[in-house]
Structure 1
Amino acid sequence: MYLKIKRLIDIILSLISLIILSPFFLILILAIKLDSKGPVLFKQKRVGIYKSHFYILKFRTMKIDTPKDTPTHLLQNPDQYITKMGKFLRKTSLDELPQIWNIFVGNMSIIGPRPSLWNQYDLIEERDKYGANDVPPGLTGWAQINGRDEIPIEVKAQLDGAYVEKLSFWMDVKCFFGTIVSVVKSDGVVEGGTGRIGEKEVASTKETTSK
């Protein structure tokens, strides 16, 4: 029942956001075009609900010669591929704004497990253990406010499972406001690395889902 309400909330909020943010979108588009050659938007195949595939949208933050379908943390010296404007967009998470359109058309939700790359088989398999592939992926989620790039795949899947287990309006509210805090503090953003937070350090974050 809540998933239907959640979808209605997604449509309303994403439509309002697209209208209000349209002037800001134009400013970012101009800045990206002036900074480097290439398209403004970046499309990438991701895994959606029930492991279906869709193309996620982002503002382009990397040079056009960057290896495709490779997570940033698996690139050798990822800084060499990230544009000047891209560093700012990634640090502030503004590169994710075009996903508001993905939310509006139903590929994603505002809150949910972050959609994995189609070839991140290890993460997809781990999420299967917790039912985290059976809900709409999100712009942000419980794992994103509890470590983001710093947590290993096994722990990320566990946190996604904890979100699914506690799925509710109040859980989404907690994730939403937690994301605002994380973005302001740039928590968990690690270029070229992942898995810096271990199982024990993340265990306390899982306990908070029951509060």
Structure 2
Amino acid sequence: MDLELMKACHFRRKGMSPMACGIKRLLDVAGSLAGMILTSPLFLIICLFIKREDGGPVIFRQERIGYGGKPFTLYKFRSMSVTSEADGIPALCQKNDKRLTRTGRFLREHHLDELPQFWNVFKGEMSFVGPRPERKFFAERIKSINPDYELLYQLRPGLFSPATLYNGYTDTMEKMLERLRMDLEYLRNRSLWLDFKIIFLTVSSIISGKKF
């Protein structure tokens, strides 16, 4: 058995049971459906503010790499100007990024730009908890430094993640590698109890206004 297969088997043995995975998926479907219904008035308000600011599209679509290493379309409320990355070169969002609109900056600070990902969770492309999905450009850069990144493809990407909670937005390669370390730790120790804990702590942090 080669080294990569041995690593993958090690992570699977320590992961959730098939029953726990089924319960997790059931909770993802119920939770995302409830989330879309309960936040629908907020969706409308956010759409109006984004449209009023510059008249551009409300929803931002971007290809990310997800479960099984397959690409999917991730949805967000647009937080940047329509001309961001006009040169076609992928760039990470930085602190005080000038590409952010006024509405977009508020949405980013309070993580409200992520709300449309309820739809990704409902469709099964994402889960409530898991590693944050990355663009292929950055995924390849991370893998060139640490090939263990591919182990994360065993999981659905998450709306919430311990790495985002404790490491914040990743705007440098150093933060990306630290996020990978934390994601691999989640992969080893994942459980329904850990998922509930991450959701509770993340939602509590957002409600309290904590910036991360």
TM-score under structure 1 length normalisation: 0.81
* Aligned-partner residue type, residue 160 of structure 1: D
Q: Which runs of 5 or more structure 1 residues have no equivalent in the other structure?
A: 189-211
CA distance in 2, matches of 1:17, 1:124: 34
Tell me the SS of whatever aligns to 2:137: coil
Higher relative contact order (CA 8 A, sep 6+): 2
Change (3 A) 1:13 1:124: farther
* Further displaced range: 44-53 or 115-124: 115-124
Q: Deviations over 1:138-177 (max 9, x none)?
A: 0011101111226622211110011111111111011101
> How do residues 38-57 of structure 1 correspond to structure 2 at under 5 angstroms?
38-57=56-75
Q: Aligned partners of 1:29 and 1:37: how far apart in 2?
A: 10
Structure-1 separation of matches of 2:82 and 2:98: 12
1:88 and 2:106 correspond:
yes
Q: Secondary structure at the match of 1:79?
A: coil
Which structure has the larger Rg over C-alpha atoms? Answer: 2
Q: For the Cα contact (< 8 Å) 2:69–2:150, is it kept in 1?
A: no
- Corresponding residue for 2:210? 186
Question: Aligned in 2, Cα 1:127/1:72: closer, same or farther, shift over 3 Å?
Answer: farther
Residue 127 of structure 1, CA deviation: 6.6
Query: Does structure 2 retain, via aligned residues, the 8 Å contact 1:147–1:187?
Result: no
Tell me, what secondary structure is at the counterpart of 1:66? Answer: coil
CA distance in 2, matches of 1:127, 1:5: 30
Q: What residue in structure 1 maps to residue 178 of structure 2?
A: 155
What is residue 172 of structure 1 aligned with on the other side?
195
Amino acid at match of 1:28: I
Counterpart for residue 159 of structure 2: 139
The normalised TM-score by structure 2 is 0.81
Q: Are 2:141 and 1:122 aligned? A: yes
**Structure 2, gaps ≥5 residues long:** 1-17
**Equivalent residue pairs, number:** 185
